[in-house]
Structure 1
Amino acid sequence: MRNYGLVLLACLASTTLHADLVALDNTALQAVEGQAGADISLKITMNQKADGSYDQSLCSDAGYCHFAIGVNNRYVQYQAGDSNDLWTKPSSESGRKLWLVFKGTQGMLNIQRLGLDGVDLRYKDKSNMEILKPSIQLSLTAAVPLQVRNFGFDAMSIEQDLFVSSATQSGSSSNAADYGYLKSTRYSGAPADFATGKSSAFDQGKEVGFMGLRMNGNMAINSKVMVFGCDAGHGRC
């Protein structure tokens, strides 16, 4: 037995392993089959409590629960009759910057299933030759709908900064209230009803604005988006 063990050890010691990496051409790659992917879920909750109601504590400083859009080269300048709080002369070069402000923004958006897969994309180029491209596919299915809960805003308004900016240089202020997107003025009393001229308590205590929006529901969507490296041979490149 001792001699057989020595022979076995000698055989193992003299054995070597050797392997070369071989490059695969396009034909060989097309013959390889496999499957990979991931299901992604994403839940976005904005300025809400666990029960889906507006978080008054989090938004105690209402200006920081705003969503604002500033369009390039939209300013107003002072003209006769204007007050310090409201300038009205339009300008595309300089003045107080205008903001479209959505006040009291909140909501929950739950994407329960977003498919992420690697797939083959086949199409014919401009010379009618079939092209095979690897691509990333994002997909949604109506069987697992998107959930929307209390998604929206309390009021929308157009506000202006209380300092001057220009197309080449943004102004600034040490006072937060001077920024248009942080203005959180509220109706202190019963505001006038623009249609009848009579007073109404409907908006009392709410932020000043002219429209609100709230969405609830399930969005059932069947769709897919494919992302791939594009070249001049594709009609949309």
Structure 2
Amino acid sequence: MYDLKVFLPPLFSLYYTSTYGAECSDACEDRGSGYYWCNTQKGWDYCSPSNNVDYKGNICHKDYTCSREGQNYYWCYLEKGGWGYCAQMLPKTMTHYTRYQEECINPCQYQKNGDYYWCYTKDSWSYCSPQADFTYKFKSCRPDHNCGTHGQNYTWCYITDDDWDYCGLSHFDACMQTEFFTVTEEDLLRNQPRSNLTFYNLQVQQNKHIISNQLVPQTPTKGVVNNVDSDITHKYVTNDYYSATHKSPHVNVWQNE
């Protein structure tokens, strides 16, 4: 059986979101404006510099933490009275690094004009790789030459016998154990008649806070289904888990006979 592992980074590895739930593409900063904001793929929006703080840095009331609560944006009642827009900082499923091993503060994204992947860093921007052991132009590293420094101050790999290119490291940081998710291992799915394959099912549930501060597992929203007899490489399975939690409600992974 393929040993499918689910990972989530430590609590310090987080990313910013906006008041409307969009992922920030750069840092959440005040930039001298008197409030915190960031850029997203849909334009700029307010954000919070930390969890349970509004977009102006005011602390949310301990009994009414930052949530949508009947609106299409995040907000909270404030300790000082009144209310304010707020946003969440969420755990990263995957951490990307640039070719110079700087941590990306936003997703490693594709630049169509130039055909490469890049991300913002704390001070600037640089090339990165969307998956482990791929170059910043999404060409697979040679199986016998993983992405690494290999004696240089940048990360690179051979893609053919003679050709090489820059790449960026990426990884899942820690075994999942957080208040945000519950992982359940379902039974083997029944043998599929068309393919005659048996599949192993893993469900990921997102937990929901209620007023009593208990955690209530919601209906499973993410699934990764893998062929038991598959020898699919780890980097492809983990990438599909990343896709399942970030891009689509359900992802199937299997290997054809």
Please give the range of the TM-score, normalised by the shorter of the 2 chains: under 0.3
More helix per residue: 1 or 2? Answer: 1
- Structure having greater relative contact order (Cα 8 Å, sep ≥ 6): 1
